């Protein structure tokens, strides 16, 4: 149908008004015969527009949200049996966010809630209703028993769906942060129900604990000021307990091995228990190493493993455990060398060079000629592979030079870095990172 190419062109231009005119001109039979193509064209505009709205790339977001609603209106007008509950409700949630008057904010949230409530029952819609009810409380400042009872009524059915762990956790943490006297009481009620349900799920699938721990790490990573240091420590301790049953978990799924390794490494990094840190870093290395065996050409697994080994080496350094420190570095070097065609990978050689510099620094106070030479080889290769465009290998080489007492070489490398990067088109590059790096304080005056 020739009109379809025109419809796609109009969709690419966000010209919904002309799209409506074109689709109106079709006979009912033509519309039905080309239903999927027509719906896809409209939905393309909606999804691209929603992405722009999510990323704050639009001027006048309130009007733009009404525009997105008009797209849903058009689809449902032409195809009344095609109902977009979640998309329409999402638009009303955005309208509430962008409205200025409290009355408008509350009205749009209520519209969204009504859509979710009348839509077919799904756990997605139920967790959305939990979110909207909490939103309404925040708008009005009225934190009533009735409202929290409503939250519980929608929260509980979602507990049957183990795929919604992240959404459930984020909502009960929102309750913890609400500014009213009973926030911790309601938080604890939601938390207890969540924990009971998830432990039941975990009896059939231990990976429930991984999802749970990952979500806690996500919250800890964003370092919410509402969570005090004492409770953050409690969360870290809980992630350690959640992950304990997953030690030795068998899988041939490389992505899952990566998730497992990262969860154990994140817990180790945030814990203050030295023995636990070492144990969990070792477990992380085991998972990353297994992932590397399955994907030998990828640079990611060796890098993640050696990052954990480096953290272990730093602990051994603090303990004076010299032999263990050496073994950790040697294990890492073996992993790097096992990567397929490692001499062609920019990222791998960058990390490899950094690792070698850390090795010579921690183990030999930068006085190992052989390790220093190997580090220089990897970093020079990284410069070549990066086509002289990236500052990082120059900086690591310069840091190695000044740590070994060669200030002239350090300055030469930094000035060469500036010259090379400017020659690649970044003419304003000014070595700003070096001028803020205490390792280079002695040569700051020579970098102008």
Reported as a single tens digit per residue, the pLDDT across 36-71 is 999 999 999 999 999 999 999 999 999 999 999 999
Ranking 222-226, 288-292, 380-384 by mean pLDDT, the lowest is: 222-226
Tally of domains within the chain? 1
Reported as a single tens digit per residue, the pLDDT across 373-430 is 999 999 999 999 999 999 999 999 999 999 999 999 999 999 999 999 999 899 899 9
CATH code, domain carrying 56 = 1.10.1240
Quote the pLDDT of residue 342: 82
CB 194 within 8 A of CB 172: yes
What integer best gives the mean pLDDT of the chain?
Answer: 95
Domain contains 75: yes
Q: What is the CA radius of gyration of the chain?
A: 28
Distance from C-alpha of 93 to C-alpha of 317, rounded to nearest angstrom: 53
Distance from C-alpha of 353 to C-alpha of 381, rounded to nearest angstrom: 9
CB 213 within 8 A of CB 263: yes
Categorize the per-residue pLDDT at 2 as very low, low, confident or very high, splitting at 50, 70 and 90.
Answer: low
Domain contains 24: yes
| Average pLDDT over every residue of 213-225 | 92
CB 332 within 8 A of CB 312: no
Domain contains 116: no
Distance from C-alpha of 401 to C-alpha of 420, rounded to nearest angstrom: 19
Domain contains 2: yes
- SS3 string, 109-123, reads HHHHHHHHHHCCCCH
H helix or E strand, kind and range, residue 310: helix 300-319
C-alpha angle with apex 316: 398 to 275, nearest 5 degrees? 135
Q: Spell out the residues 6+ positions from residue 289 whose beta carbon is closer than 8 angstroms to its own.
A: 301, 305, 335
| Average pLDDT over every residue of 11-34 | 93
Domain residue limits at 75: 1-83
Domain contains 224: no
Domain contains 7: yes
Token digits of residue 195: 């924990």
Percent of the chain residues topping a pLDDT of 90: 91
Q: Which of 152, 162, 154 is nearest to 187 (CA)?
A: 152
């Amino acid at each position: 149908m020739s009109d379809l190419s025109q419809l796609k062109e109009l969709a690419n231009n966000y010209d919904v008004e002309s799209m409506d005119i074109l689709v109106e001109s079709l006979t009912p039979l033509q519309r039905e015969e080309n239903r999927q193509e027509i719906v896809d064209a409209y939905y393309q505009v909606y999804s691209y527009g929603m992405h722009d709205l999510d990323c704050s790339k639009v001027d006048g977001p309130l009007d733009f949200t009404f525009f997105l609603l008009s797209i849903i209106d058009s689809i449902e007008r032409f195809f009344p049996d095609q109902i977009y509950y979640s998309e329409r409700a999402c638009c009303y949630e955005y309208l509430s966010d962008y409205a200025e008057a409290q009355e408008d904010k509350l009205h749009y949230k209520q519209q969204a809630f009504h859509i979710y409530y009348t839509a077919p029952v799904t756990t997605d819609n139920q967790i959305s209703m939990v979110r909207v009810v909490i939103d309404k409380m925040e708008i009005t400042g009225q934190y009533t028993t009735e409202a929290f009872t409503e939250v519980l009524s929608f929260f509980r059915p979602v507990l049957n769906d183990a795929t919604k762990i992240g959404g459930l956790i984020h909502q009960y943490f929102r309750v913890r942060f609400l500014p009213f006297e009973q926030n911790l009481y309601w938080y604890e009620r939601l938390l207890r129900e969540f924990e009971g349900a998830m432990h039941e799920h975990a009896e059939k699938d231990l990976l429930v604990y991984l999802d749970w721990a990952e979500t806690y790490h996500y919250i800890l990573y964003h370092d919410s000021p509402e969570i005090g240091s004492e409770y953050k420590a409690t969360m870290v301790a809980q992630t350690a307990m959640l992950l304990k049953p997953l030690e030795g978990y068998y899988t041939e799924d490389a992505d899952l091995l990566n998730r497992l390794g990262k969860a154990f490494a994140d817990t180790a990094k945030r814990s203050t228990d030295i023995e636990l840190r070492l144990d969990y870093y070792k477990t992380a290395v085991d998972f990353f190493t297994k992932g590397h065996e399955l994907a030998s050409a990828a640079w990611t697994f060796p890098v993640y493993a050696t990052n954990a080994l480096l953290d272990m080496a730093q602990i051994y350094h603090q303990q004076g455990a010299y032999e263990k420190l050496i073994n950790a570095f040697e294990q890492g070097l073996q992993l790097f060398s096992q990567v397929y065609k490692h001499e062609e990978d920019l990222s791998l050689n960058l990390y490899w060079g950094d690792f070698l510099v850390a090795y010579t620094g921690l183990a030999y106070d930068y006085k190992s000629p052989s390790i220093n030479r190997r580090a220089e080889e990897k970093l020079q290769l990284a410069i070549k592979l990066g086509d002289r465009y990236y500052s990082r290998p120059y900086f690591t080489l310069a840091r190695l030079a000044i740590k070994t007492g060669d200030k002239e070489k350090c300055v030469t490398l930094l000035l060469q870095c500036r010259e090379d990067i400017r020659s690649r088109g970044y003419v304003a590059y000014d070595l700003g990172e070096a001028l803020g790096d205490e390792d280079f304080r002695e040569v700051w005056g020579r970098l102008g």
